[in-house]
Amino acid sequence: MTPTTGQADYRDGGLQFPRSFVFGSATASYQIEGAVHEGGRGPSIWDTFSHTPGLVWNGDTGDVADDHYHRLDEDLDLMKSLNLQAYRFSIAWPRIQPTGRGPANEAGLDFYSRVIDGLIARGITPVATLYHWDLPQALEDEGGWTSRSTAIAFEEYARIVGEAFGDRIAVWTTLNEPWCSAYLGYASGAHAPGRTEPLAALQAVHHLNLAHGLAIQALKRVVTNNPKYSVTLNLHVIRGEGGTGPEAVRRIDGLGNRAFTGPMLHGKYPADLLDDTREITDWSFVEDGDLEVINQDIDILGVNYYSTTLVRVWDGTGEKLNADGHKDVGASPWPAADNIEFLPQPGPYTEMGWNIEPSGLEELLLAVHAEFPNQPLMITENGAAFPDVVTQDADGPAVHDGDRIDYLRRHLTAAHRALEQGVDLRGYFVWSLMDNFEWGYGYSKRFGIVRVDYDTLERLPKDSARWYAELASTNRLPD
């Protein structure tokens, strides 16, 4: 195939990314580690949630997951064999502080020390996320993210890991997708801790924002190398339908995007968000000085992108549609937005039911760049679940996941187009290194470029892994 560029369907080939552009993969602690009772780890809200009957598909839990805790060296070798330049992993807070407070658990620190040293020994850059949703259960018992004290506890946790690993981590990310932690955790209840209280969700938004700011300050006080600081947001690419589209977009953009970028990057909550949510709260939990703490300079803004969102104001007749891409568990994750409808979008779709729309990624990167022109960006997650099939080929078992390669190609084309339009985009992390525990859907959704056999826990690189390995070794999108 000859190199093709400028394809209307984003199926370009042969595109060259800058030498400095980083290609990596991403995972999260609860989704891969297993060994939940080992090394002094305390319970997290996801242990409690997944062990509550009916909350996770098929009754799946992270008890064993990919058994990464015991297969660390094998997994590090696997990353090396795939030419990964960087690895984005998360640190499980309950491995470091089993009850969320107090002295560090040495066995927990040792485990992540081995992760980091193993990466560095293999020439892979460590990118660490402090919080990818596994809150120590003991803190949830005291109110979780509805409570200011959880943000204060997070500051202490950040200091501990900063002191332990602050000589070796290249990029620190405070939070992964605080949108999900706040709204899926406390409003819809689709995620742990499974609460369905709109006020709690808005309190969580603020305390997560505060935790972000406090953690950056704490890290900066103790690290000894010269790392980059970041946060990862799942910014929503929202499109409006019909005459009410713009109003619906404004509201969902406020709750979904500006509730985080406002305080973090502009130093204030958007006035329209405060107005829209007046029926729930006067936001008096925002204390004097909080916004200064939250508004930290960050070196990189991480964006996770999977698909787009289509909204309009509900006209009050017929059934209100709620195809927002999140597991439908009855309650809405969108506080004070009962009049907003989420419309189904044209396919094709991934196994998650998410529409495949690479132009959304280009649009997102350009929009963020326009609003924050000096802010370097990184795609910290992008990828797709498909119903993979293992075939027994002459040279052994294989997964010919052409659909995933196509998804990645199209989104990398979008990323490259954004780069060409002047967006300061530094890297791309495929979600995910390997199949894993996909939250409320358990093990039913496979996002990995490496297959995991959940009976034997064997790893099998899919075709997409080989394809990605070529990209990661050349920085050139294969033809």
Instruction: Name the residues annotated as catalytic.
Output: 177, 381
In the bound state with ligand FCB, the residue whose beta carbon lies nearer, of 362 and 435, is 435
Q: Binding to ligand FCB by residue 438, rule CB under 6 A?
A: yes
> Is the CB of 180 or the CB of 200 nearer to ligand FCB?
180
Which one of 135, 180, 214, 215 is in contact with ligand FCB (CB under 6 A)? 180
Of the candidates 387, 389, 388, 383, the residue with the CA atom closest to the CA atom of residue 408: 383
Which one-letter amino acid corresponds to residue 91?
I
Report the residue from 145, 439, 467, 468 that binds ligand FCB according to the rule CB under 6 A. 439
Cα(159)–Cα(400) distance, rounded to whole angstroms?
44
Q: Which of residues 447-476 bind ligand FCB (CB under 6 A)?
A: 447
Crossing angle of helices 72-81 and 106-121, in 10° steps, is 20
Nearest approach, Cβ of 413 to ligand FCB (angstroms)? 21
Select the residue interacting with ligand FCB from 105, 129, 147, 176 (CB under 6 A): 176
Among 177, 290, 341, 435, binds ligand FCB (CB under 6 A): 177
- Angstrom distance (rounded) from CA 435 to CA 112: 21
Looking at beta carbons only, is 269 or 386 nearer to ligand FCB?
Answer: 386
Q: Does the protein bind ligand FCB through residue 104 (CB under 6 A)?
A: no
| The only residue of 188, 234, 296, 322 in contact with ligand FCB, by rule CB under 6 A | 234
- Nearer to ligand FCB among residue 183 and residue 439 (C-beta): 439
Q: How far is the CB of 366 from ligand FCB (least distance, A)?
A: 22
- Give the whole-angstrom CA distance, residue 263 versus residue 209: 7
What is the closest distance, in whole angstroms, from the C-beta atom of residue 252 to ligand FCB in the complex?
17
Choice between 31 and 413, CB closer to ligand FCB: 31
Q: Give the Cα separation of 396 and 416 in Å (integer).
A: 35
For the record, the structure tokens of 446 come out as: 């496979």
Number of residues that bind ligand FCB (CB under 6 A): 12
**For ligand FCB, which stretch binds (CB under 6 A), given 64-72, 95-103, 175-183, 276-284?**
175-183
* Reduced DSSP (H G I as helix, E B as strand, rest coil) percent helix, strand, coil of the chain, to 5: 40, 15, 45
Nearest approach in angstroms of CB 27 to ligand FCB is 8
Chain centroid, CA 289 distance in Å:
28
431 binds ligand FCB (CB under 6 A): yes
Whole-number Å distance between alpha carbons of 211 and 93: 13
Burial of 44 (0-12, 13-18, 19+ CB in 10 A): buried
Restricting to residues 132-151, name those near ligand FCB by CB under 6 A. Answer: none
Q: How far is CA 247 from CA 202, 314, 315, in A?
A: 21, 11, 13
Give least dist CB 437 to ligand FCB, A. Answer: 9
Q: Which of 372, 429, 350 shows the shortest CA–CA distance to 176?
A: 429
Buried b or exposed e, range 236-263, using 16+ CB within 10 angstroms? bbbbbeeebbeebbbbbbbbbbbbbbbb
Round to whole Å and give the CA distance between 322 and 319: 9
Nearer to ligand FCB, 31 or 85 (CB): 31
Which is nearer to ligand FCB, 176 or 355 (by Cβ)?
A: 176
Of 9-17, 145-153, 173-181, 362-370, which part binds ligand FCB (CB under 6 A)? 173-181
Q: Which helix (H) or strand (E) segment is 329 a member of?
A: none
Query: Per-residue b/e over 406-423, b at no fewer than 16 CB within 10 Å?
Result: bbbbbbbbbbbbbbeeeb
Q: Which of 28, 161, 164, 205 binds ligand FCB (CB under 6 A)?
A: 28
d(CA 78, CA 460): 10
Q: Residue 181 in 3-state DSSP? A: helix
Query: Which of 381, 401, 406, 435 forms a contact with ligand FCB (CB under 6 A)?
Result: 381
- Only one of the segments 106-114, 116-124, 172-180, 367-375 lies at the binding site for ligand FCB (rule: CB under 6 A); that segment is 172-180
Q: How far is the CB of 421 from ligand FCB (least distance, A)?
A: 26
Nearest distance from residue 391's CB to ligand FCB, in Å?
25
Task: Kindly state the smallest distance separating residue 192's Cβ from ligand FCB, in Å.
Answer: 13
Which H or E run contains 468?
A: helix 463-474
429 touching ligand FCB, by CB under 6 A: no
Structure tokens at 65: 């997951």
| Ramachandran region, residue 316 (left: φ > 0; alpha: ψ -120 to 50; beta: rest) | left
Specify the residue, 25 or 176, whose C-beta has the smaller distance to ligand FCB.
Answer: 176
Q: Taking the alpha carbons of 130, 131, 137, 139 in that order, is the dihedral positive or negative?
A: positive
CB 177, min distance to ligand FCB, A = 5
Compose the 31-50 pattern: x for residues touching ligand FCB by CB under 6 A, - for all others.
x-------------------
Between residue 282 and residue 321, which ones bind ligand FCB under the rule CB under 6 A? 304
Place of tokens 């350009």: 366
E strands, 401-477, in order: 425-431, 450-452, 459-461
Q: Which of 326, 404, 334, 348 is nearest to 25 (CA)?
A: 404
Looking at beta carbons only, is 96 or 175 nearer to ligand FCB?
A: 175
Residues lying near ligand FCB in the complex (CB under 6 A) are found at 28, 31, 176-177, 180, 234, 304, 381, 431, 438-439, 447
